[in-house]
Amino acid sequence: MNLFTLAFRNIRQNNKKYAMYFFSMGFSVFTVYTFSSLMNNEYVMKAFRYDQRYQSLLTAFGVIILVFVLFFLISSNSSFIRARKKEVSTYSLFGMTNGRIGRLLFLETMIVGTATLVIGILAGIFFSKLMAMFLLNLSLTNFVGDVSFVIDPKSVIITAVLFLGIFIFMGLTGLRVICKFELVDLFKADKISEGRYKGSRVVLVLSLLLIFSGYFIACSKNATVVVLGAIPILTLVITGTYFFFWGGLPKVLNLIKKNKRTYYQGVNLISTSAFSHRMKSLASVMATIAVLSAVAVTAIATGFTLYSNAEKNSYSSVGFDLYYYVGQKDMTDKVHQAFQNHHGVIENEYTLQLYEATPDFHGETLLGQENLTPEERYFRIYSETDYNKMISYSKTNLESVRIAPGEGLYIYPYSMEDIKSTILGKSLDFRSKEIRVTDVIRSAVPNFGSFNTIVIDDSDFQSMKDNGMIKTAAESGKEYHAVTVMNYKNALKSKELYQVVNEVFKNEKQQYRTVYYIYNESMETFGLICFIGFFMSVVFILMTASLLYFKQVMAAEEERHQFRMLRKIGMDVNMERKVIRKRLLPVFFIPLVIGIVHSIFAMKTADTIVFSNLIPVENSYLTVLGFSGIMYGAYAFVYVIFYLVTKNQYTRIVIK
Amino acid sequence: MQILKVENISKTYGTKKNSKKYTALKNISFEVNQGEFIGVMGASGSGKTTLLNILGSIDKPTTGRFIMNGKDIGTLDKNQLAKHRMENIGFIFQDYNLLETMTLRENIILPLALMGKEIAVIEEKLNKLAGDLCIMDVLEKYPYEVSGGEQQRAASCRALINNPKMILADEPTGNLDSKSGKDLLALLTFINKEYNATILMVTHDVFAASYCQKILFIRDGEIYNELYAGSDKKQFFDSIIDVMSMLGGERK
């Protein structure tokens, strides 16, 4: 029997151990191929690669995936070798030299590697069209083309070369294991205990302190603090997480053990001691999984929140499908003509006079407007009736208002810190009249170019207009005096109408804004982020969960005799199931729960930096959490499935 | 008081269709009374471990039945069997079978913890037994941190802690050196006398067997002979050797 047939026989006979190994390697190959072919797909290139931002985003993501795949492969390889130590030592005992055993293992790795490479790439080719379609449909709202089915030779070569390198490296690692260990150690591999691991109170407190101080910075309301604190937050939370699993969780288990009332109940006794026994070998894996879950879950939650709110956000910044300023030239006829020529259906339109005024705020400038010239500090001013009329056309969640004489509603366009407290209840001096600000809201719709907007009572408006305090925009020196807002059918999707509108205004050099432009740009960005988040989540979850599966199934082989013994002293089937459940649940769900909690705080920072500006509601964090919750649920769901599969396999092994 | 009655137990391995049948036990019948210390001897492959497994209700006889404590064990279902094992039987194994993930203390209290006993009860029993068996000092250690003798004493402790009707010992001295083996046998005798525990010990070690009050010899799945210990230990020892040599088993 030569080495080659021996290697084949080994693979066949170890097929159960190999199955999971095979799956994880195949999946890694699949991931790398898919990503590489996606990067080289002509449609994707056309859609994204022209833009530097997207390109760097995709490249950065590619590097993360690659690093993770490496970590995953090395980690599953080492636990695979450990599981086979006994076999290796048997060869050694029968007089096979280290060199030959090394060659044998190397051969096995290469055989399995080549097979997974072929299968992974085939699966990648099979799904590449689906993935490209998925990305493009998610990101490009008007994408209707058909991605052709292509085999990308460049990606095949890249993937093959990369993985052959990795497999050779893995084969060499195996060789090192054999050379480094003594024969006796190899035989004792199963019996060498992982030892007591009591953890430490100091580390527990320290880890919690690190994590919570990270959370504390993350919760800051000041966006600048959060942006500057990103690296410290990550460092604090990540080191805290690792410390928690290394020293904190063992301590917690130790404390649980001290509570004899619960610990001395048969099931708890067995499962807790078994779990804490495995703690040492699981700690790093669990910590890594917690961190990765946090990253993946945050990525997908961010993407999903942005993506689901793209339409709302676009309208909350533009307000209408289209608006254009009305100056000397009257564009109305031209616009109507253009729509008619291209079968566009105008739903409604409204032309509104724009007025301005420059009140005095007790001789001070408003907060955040210190850098504006005095001319730029003017207020857009509306009468209650005009405002309500205009709002009725807008596609936002703004509501019509009622204003009492002498009072005013102040509207600001961007998230400005403390502006509400600065201005609410204060008076604005319009020379002839004092207007007290009784309400403040945030909206970018009614300002039409100004930083400040105020809505006042009809009669106040009339009297101020009469005594010249309120002027039209044209009177104040602007090129326009009114704005026309309009809505038309299929405004978000129709590229044709958008181009038509573009044409009309470009030719006449008139200012205008469309919701189409904003919406499609954000869909492109957010679709890509959402896709990356999704891809990353799928990769992370499959790899981390299968890593846990791997470890637990290996452990099951070792724990088999314990269950056999327990049955002899009278443990029944129900109790056995309970023990298995309690033994496996923490392994899967502690990292998941910690990952999600991290993510909840990560979403808080994302809310402070991004969402609070994007989502025009009072408490945007709750909205964000709502959308994130859906993704957390989906992530947890996949974990539950993996947990159940692992539990079944574990049960099958120990109760045989 | 009669505690166990075995009637015509047979055990056959191999499926019915398969012509290759192997009979491990043939029509075994005997009785055990409360407080007896019985040895089961025989050469390797004679069926003694099979018998022990059946008595411990880990395995089922092909035919025949045995009654323990007035109950026909053959009629119990899986969960009832588990309960039966938990309440009535204590096991001591050749390789101790302690859980490596637990300290000796946790290993010992396991049967009581499984039964859901209160902490006070558990602790009281543990302290008394561990004191008697001299393992108080090593209770907080893990099995791999203590000697084989201590492990076997802890295993005995675990077997005793639920006051079983019967203790089944499968080659308990097999992995121990002669000093520890002797200590363990003294311990079993002590348990037998002090706690009035019924012990059934499988062994092929003549010296170990000489501690028993009665010995059943098994050959090819059948009871070949029975021996009772008289007052003279030396004579008992010699007659065991005689029977063993007749059996064709090894001499020690």
What ipTM was predicted for this assembly? 0.80
User: Which one-letter amino acid corresponds to residue A78?
Assistant: S
A308 shares a domain with A212:
yes
Contact flag B82-A273 (C-beta cutoff 8 Å): no
Chain B residues with CB inside 8 Å of A196's CB?
Answer: 142
Cα(A359)–Cα(A593) distance, integer angstroms:
54
Put simply, whether A265 touches B (Cβ < 8 Å) is yes
pLDDT of residue A575: 84
Mean pLDDT within A536-547: 82
Cα(A464)–Cα(B149) distance, integer angstroms:
103
Q: What are phi and psi of A59, to 5 degrees?
A: -65, -45
Choose the mutation target among B49, B79, B87, B99 for the interface with A, i.e. most A CBs under 10 Å.
B99
Q: What are phi and psi of A351, to 5 degrees?
A: -105, 135
Q: What percent of chain B has pLDDT over 70?
A: 96
Q: What is the mean pLDDT of chain A?
A: 81
Three-state secondary-structure class, residue B165 = coil
Burial class of residue A500, CB neighbours in 10 A (0-12, 13-18, 19+): middle
Contact flag B106-A269 (C-beta cutoff 8 Å): yes
pLDDT of residue B2: 83
A174 shares a domain with A149:
yes
Positive or negative, the Cα torsion across A578, A579, A584, A590? positive
pLDDT of residue B200: 92
Q: Which of A196, A273, A562 sits opposite B106 (nearest CB)?
A: A273
Put simply, whether A269 touches B (Cβ < 8 Å) is yes
Residue A575 makes CB contacts below 8 A (sequence gap 6+) with: A266, A267, B82, B114
Burial class of residue A511, CB neighbours in 10 A (0-12, 13-18, 19+): middle
pLDDT for residue A337 is more than 60? yes
Q: Taking the CB of residue A71, how many other CB atoms lie within 10 A of it?
A: 14
Of A375, A343, A501, which is closest to residue A450 (Cα–Cα)? Answer: A375
pLDDT of residue A534: 81
pLDDT for residue A100 is more than 70? yes
Q: Which of A196, A260, A562 sits opposite B142 (nearest CB)?
A: A196
Given pLDDT bands bounded at 50, 70 and 90, which one contains residue B251?
A: very low
pLDDT of residue A363: 67
A538 shares a domain with A474:
no
Task: Say which residue the tokens 């957390």 belong to.
Answer: A632
> CA of A179 to nearest chain B CA: how many angstroms apart?
27
For chain A, the C-alpha Rg in angstroms (whole number) is: 32
| Paired residues of A349 in beta bridges | A486
Burial class of residue A99, CB neighbours in 10 A (0-12, 13-18, 19+): exposed
Cα(A32)–Cα(A123) distance, integer angstroms:
11
List pLDDT tens digits, range A471-499. Answer: 888 777 778 888 888 888 888 877 788 88
pLDDT for residue A364 is more than 50? yes
A531 shares a domain with A434:
no
Least confident range of A608-622, A637-651, B34-48: A608-622
Put simply, whether A150 touches B (Cβ < 8 Å) is no
Least confident range of A587-601, B12-26, B43-57, B127-141: B12-26
Of A289, A193, A210, A292, which is closest to residue A248 (Cα–Cα)? Answer: A210
Q: Which of B79, B102, B142 sits opposite A572 (nearest CB)?
A: B79
Least confident range of A305-309, A319-323, B1-5: A305-309
Chain B residues with CB inside 8 Å of A574's CB?
Answer: 79
pLDDT of residue B61: 87
For chain B, the C-alpha Rg in angstroms (whole number) is: 18
Least confident range of A343-357, A519-533, B107-121: A519-533
A656 shares a domain with A542:
yes
Q: Which of A269, A561, A562 sits opposite B113 (nearest CB)?
A: A269
Given pLDDT bands bounded at 50, 70 and 90, which one contains residue A599?
A: very high
Task: Say which residue the tokens 């604090």 belong to.
Answer: A236
Contact flag B102-A191 (C-beta cutoff 8 Å): no
Cα(B72)–Cα(B77) distance, integer angstroms:
11
Cα(A123)–Cα(A142) distance, integer angstroms:
29
Chain B residues with CB inside 8 Å of A577's CB?
Answer: none
Cα(B4)–Cα(A601) distance, integer angstroms:
66
Q: Which of B58, B99, B114 sits opposite A266 (nearest CB)?
A: B114
Chain A residues with CB inside 8 Å of B102's CB?
Answer: 269-270, 273
Mean pLDDT within A105-126: 88
As a whole number of Å, the end-to-end CA separation of chain A is 33
pLDDT for residue A30 is more than 80? yes
A535 shares a domain with A492:
no
A475 shares a domain with A405:
yes
Tell which of A473, A502, A519 closes a domain: A519
pLDDT of residue A594: 94
How many structural domains compose chain B? Answer: 1
pLDDT for residue A643 is more than 90? yes
Positive or negative, the Cα torsion across B121, B127, B132, B135? positive
Highest-pLDDT range among A483-492, A589-598, B83-92: A589-598
pLDDT for residue A326 is more than 80? yes
Cα(A606)–Cα(A548) distance, integer angstroms:
30
pLDDT of residue A344: 81
pLDDT for residue B250 is more than 90? no
Counted residue by residue, chain B has a size of: 252
Q: Are A81 and A181 in contact (CB under 8 A)?
A: no
Q: What is the mean pLDDT of chain B?
A: 85
Least confident range of A287-291, A365-369, A489-493, B76-80: A365-369
Three-state secondary-structure class, residue B121 = helix
Q: Which of B89, B97, B119 sits opposite A565 (nearest CB)?
A: B97
pLDDT of residue A196: 63
Nearest chain B residue (CA) to A562: B99
A236 shares a domain with A179:
no
> CA of A158 to nearest chain B CA: how many angstroms apart?
46
Task: Say which residue the tokens 């299929």 belong to.
Answer: A490
A:548-607 residues touching chain B, CB 8 A cutoff: 561-562, 565-575
Highest-pLDDT range among A310-314, A536-540, B88-92: B88-92
Contact flag A193-B100 (C-beta cutoff 8 Å): yes
> CA of A292 to nearest chain B CA: how many angstroms apart?
29
Given pLDDT bands bounded at 50, 70 and 90, which one contains residue A636?
A: very high
Residue B252 lies in a domain: no
Residue B30 lies in a domain: yes
Contact flag A269-B102 (C-beta cutoff 8 Å): yes
For residue A318, what are the CA distances in angstroms to A322, A337, A340, A492?
A: 8, 23, 24, 12
For residue A107, the enclosing domain spans 1-192
> CA of A53 to nearest chain B CA: how many angstroms apart?
53
Nearest chain A residue (CA) to B111: A569
Residue B79 lies in a domain: yes
> CA of A194 to nearest chain B CA: how many angstroms apart?
9
Contact flag B91-A264 (C-beta cutoff 8 Å): no
> CA of A263 to nearest chain B CA: how many angstroms apart?
9
pLDDT of residue B15: 64
Residue A86 makes CB contacts below 8 A (sequence gap 6+) with: A186, A187, A189, A190
Chain A residues with CB inside 8 Å of B163's CB?
Answer: none
Of A160, A138, A159, which is closest to residue A34 (Cα–Cα)? Answer: A159
Q: Are B67 and B229 in contact (CB under 8 A)?
A: no
> CA of B119 to nearest chain A CA: how many angstroms apart?
6
Three-state secondary-structure class, residue A485 = strand
A526 shares a domain with A619:
yes
Chain A residues with CB inside 8 Å of B97's CB?
Answer: 561, 565, 568
pLDDT for residue A184 is more than 90? no
Mean pLDDT within A308-329: 82
Cα(B225)–Cα(A352) distance, integer angstroms:
116
Put simply, whether A258 touches B (Cβ < 8 Å) is no
pLDDT for residue A190 is more than 60? no
Q: What are phi and psi of A444, to 5 degrees?
A: -95, 5
Cα(B172)–Cα(B199) distance, integer angstroms:
12
pLDDT of residue A145: 63
Here the CATH number for the domain that contains residue B98 is: 3.40.50.300
Mean pLDDT within B66-73: 84
pLDDT for residue A198 is more than 50? yes
Q: Which of B83, B91, B158 sits opposite A572 (nearest CB)?
A: B83
Task: Say which residue the tokens 């990292």 belong to.
Answer: A591
Of A163, A75, A79, which is closest to residue A116 (Cα–Cα)? Answer: A163
List pLDDT tens digits, range A120-175. Answer: 999 988 888 888 887 777 776 666 666 677 778 888 998 899 899 888 888 887 77
List pLDDT tens digits, range A247-286. Answer: 888 888 888 888 877 787 778 888 888 888 888 778 888 8
A459 vs A68: which has the higher pLDDT: A459
Q: Are A179 and A102 in contact (CB under 8 A)?
A: yes
Contact flag A568-B102 (C-beta cutoff 8 Å): no
Task: Say which residue the tokens 């603090």 belong to.
Answer: A225
Residue B197 lies in a domain: yes
Mean pLDDT within A296-323: 83
Tell which of A135, A165, A192 closes a domain: A192
For residue B69, the enclosing domain spans 2-247
Cα(A88)–Cα(A102) distance, integer angstroms:
9
Tell which of A474, A494, A519 closes a domain: A519
> CA of A125 to nearest chain B CA: how many angstroms apart?
47
Mean pLDDT within B188-192: 88
A637 vs B47: which has the higher pLDDT: A637
Three-state secondary-structure class, residue B237 = helix
pLDDT of residue A143: 63
Q: Which of B90, B110, B119 sits opposite A261 (nearest CB)?
A: B119
Contact flag B111-A562 (C-beta cutoff 8 Å): no
Choose the mutation target among A567, A569, A578, A579 for the interface with B, i.e. most B CBs under 10 Å.
A569
Q: Which of B91, B106, B144 sits opposite A568 (nearest CB)?
A: B91
Chain B residues with CB inside 8 Å of A571's CB?
Answer: 82, 86, 114
pLDDT of residue A189: 46
How many structural domains compose chain A? Answer: 3
A:276-315 residues touching chain B, CB 8 A cutoff: 276-277
A275 shares a domain with A234:
yes
Fill in the DSSP letter of residue A361.
B
Chain B residues with CB inside 8 Å of A273's CB?
Answer: 99, 101-102, 106
Contact flag A568-B58 (C-beta cutoff 8 Å): yes
Q: Are B172 and B140 in contact (CB under 8 A)?
A: no
Put simply, whether A165 touches B (Cβ < 8 Å) is no
Residue B160 lies in a domain: yes
Beta strands B166-170 and B198-203, pairing class: parallel
> CA of B99 to nearest chain A CA: how many angstroms apart?
6
Given pLDDT bands bounded at 50, 70 and 90, which one contains residue A614?
A: low
The reply to whether the predicted model has a pTM over 0.90 is no
Residue B152 lies in a domain: yes
A511 vs A593: which has the higher pLDDT: A593
Of B94, B44, B58, B86, which is closest to residue B247 (Cα–Cα)? Answer: B44
> CA of B139 to nearest chain A CA: how many angstroms apart?
14
